[in-house]
Amino acid sequence: SFGGLGQLITEGLQAFFPTKYLLGAVLSVVLAILADVLFVRIERLVTPWAHARAGSG
């Protein structure tokens, strides 16, 4: 077994240990949010014309 967040969640569910699977779930959400922020920043770097703001006036 390689471990990871999936294993943490599965072990917590099998052992009826809510702290363990909730920790795995929260860490998964945090990781997903960080990945999303990273991808948005990369997108803005490689496509600056798509995010240019219109000038006032």
State residue 10's pLDDT score.
Answer: 87
CA geometry: angle at 43 spanning 41 and 29, to 5°?
55
Residue 57: is its pLDDT beyond 50? no
State residue 29's pLDDT score.
Answer: 94
Q: What is the pTM of this model?
A: 0.69
Q: Would you place residue 52 in the very low, low, confident or very high pLDDT band (cuts 50, 70, 90)?
A: confident
pLDDT in tens, 8-50: 888 888 888 888 888 888 999 999 999 999 999 999 999 988 8
Q: Is 17 left (phi over 0), alpha (psi -120 to 50) or beta?
A: beta
State residue 56's pLDDT score.
Answer: 52
